[in-house]
Amino acid sequence: MGMPEQPLTHVPEFDPEDEYRPEPEPELLPPTWMDGSLRIGIHASIAGSYLNALESARKLGCNALQIFSASPRMWQAGSARIPDADAAAFRARRAELGLGPLVIHANYLINLAAAQPMLRTRSIQAFHDELVRGVALGADFLVVHPGSRGEATPEQAVATVIESVKQGSKRISLGNLRILIENTAGMGAAVGARLEELAEILAGLRNVPAEACIDTAHLFAAGYDIKSETGLTSTIDLIEGTIGLERVPVIHANDSKIPLGGRVDRHENIGEGKIGAEAFARILTHPRLGASAPQGLTGRAFVLETPIDQPGDDRRNVAKLWELAGLREQAPPAEKGFSMLTAAIKKIQTRTAKAEKAAARKTKVAIKAKASDGKPKKARKIKRG
Ligand SMILES: [Zn+2]
Ligand SMILES: [Zn+2]
């Protein structure tokens, strides 16, 4: 790469137990999900139990799924491990249901490009823990965003990401688990909006099982016009020429609330965003993006990360992908009326959102009152509406 190695000021301390674990038994046969059929999944909630995510994916009519292996917006306090019995039950049930691939999305706080030493150390540690949990759950892929470069140059940031991934994946037997670096929408100082940049990161990770996850909404927001037929062709050519399509086993299928090149990450239901149904039909039926050789990649998965604003949005998005892929007949049956967002949860969410809004308004009024004359004043009554 010709880039300076980034010295680590704080060496993260890993659990020594991870270093001496026996290597998982190598699989002699390819996993059942690599049968040449298209894999369609959704990000499923682990609320309550890891097993719930499997049941949700099945009831929604998926044959693949993505999960978080822990809370995505908190640093893990205490043990980051999954109890062996829970992990074993999860692996057994997943095998029964034939769901695959299993994708884990890493915590959003992880910033592998961080220049700030404390944040970087924390990020490497958390990334390492993600890998440990991924192996325990028998995951196929761990998706991680490259991070945000802050004041660093793009070149420095790429070098930092490479070094962070190397550090975090050191001394752990990954078995079949592969790391996928995801392209970004290019919000703020996000690394990885350009496919070339993603390719540079992967080029620096030759000795790590690292590939790419491509998100359609991020592509579009980053300026790749996958909505038009010619734009899709040139984008596919560019992926081929930089990363290599054979190194993109997972595609995040999200429509975008943001127009082409808007550089903001906002997902939309399939067909209801700026990319649109027609473009998704082209994407889902494109032989080079398919799940069977010779043109496609065996076992390739399209995974939804679409919003669930109304009960049933999740089920409808899954059905839409099967339909636009031209595979409605072959799709696994969904459970009628099932949604991860029930009417009861929706009610609680609405109530919480309203309360939060009111609290925020109250604080604002109180601050204003305080600032107006320097003396603390009773917060004015707020009109509710
Ligand atoms: Zn994504
Ligand atoms: Zn996104």
Three-state secondary structure of the chain: CCCCCCCCCCCCCCCHHHHHCCCCCCCCCCCCCCCCCCEEEEECCCCCCHHHHHHHHHHCCCCEEEECCCCCCCCCCCCCCCCHHHHHHHHHHHHHHCCCCEEEECCCCCCCCCCCHHHHHHHHHHHHHHHHHHHHHCCCEEEECCCECCCCCHHHHHHHHHHHHHHHCCCCCCCCCEEEEECCCCCCCECCCCHHHHHHHHHCCCCCCEEEEEEHHHHHHCCCCCCCHHHHHHHHHHHHHHCCHHHCCEEEECEECCCCCCCCCCEECCCCCCCCHHHHHHHHHCHHHCCCCCCCCCCCEEEECCCCCCCCHHHHHHHHHHHHCCCCCCCCCCCCCCCCCCHHHHHHHHHHHHHHHHHHHHHHHHHHHHHHHCCCCCCCCCCCC
Closest listed ligand to the CA of 256: 2
Distance 215 CA to ligand 1 centre (A): 5
**For residue 112, is pLDDT > 60?**
yes
Give 365 or 200, the one with higher predicted confidence. Answer: 200
Token digits of residue 32: 């059942």
Distance 93 CA to ligand 1 centre (A): 26
Closest listed ligand to the CA of 258: 2
pLDDT band at 381 (very low <50, low <70, confident <90, very high): very low
Over residues 170-180, mean pLDDT: 95
* Total-model pTM: 0.86
CA–CA separation, 261 and 257 (whole Å) = 12
Closest listed ligand to the CA of 215: 1
Give the tens place of pLDDT for each residue, 272-306.
999 999 999 999 999 999 999 899 999 999 999 99
Distance 266 CA to ligand 2 centre (A): 6
CB burial string 308-317: b at 16+ within 10 A, e below = beebbbbbbb
Indicate the domain borders of the chain: 16-341, 342-385
Distance 255 CA to ligand 2 centre (A): 10
Distance 144 CA to ligand 1 centre (A): 9
Distance 103 CA to ligand 1 centre (A): 11
CA–CA separation, 234 and 240 (whole Å) = 10
pLDDT of residue 187: 95
Distance 96 CA to ligand 1 centre (A): 27
Closest listed ligand to the CA of 66: 1
Question: Fold for domain 16-341?
Answer: TIM Barrel (3.20.20)
Backbone angles phi, psi at 115, to 5 degrees: -90, -30
Distance 17 CA to ligand 1 centre (A): 32
- Of 8-22, 65-79, 272-286, highest mean pLDDT: 272-286
| Residues in the 5 Å CB sphere of ion ligand 1 | 215, 252
**For residue 13, is pLDDT > 70?**
no
Closest listed ligand to the CA of 303: 1
Distance 48 CA to ligand 1 centre (A): 23
pLDDT of residue 361: 86
Closest listed ligand to the CA of 265: 2
pLDDT band at 313 (very low <50, low <70, confident <90, very high): very high
Distance 1 CA to ligand 2 centre (A): 28
Over residues 100-105, mean pLDDT: 98
Distance 216 CA to ligand 1 centre (A): 8
The number of angstroms, rounded, from the C-alpha of 84 to the middle of its chain's C-alpha atoms is 25
Distance 254 CA to ligand 2 centre (A): 8
Distance 19 CA to ligand 1 centre (A): 31
Give the tens place of pLDDT for each residue, 130-168.
999 999 999 999 999 999 999 999 999 999 999 999 999
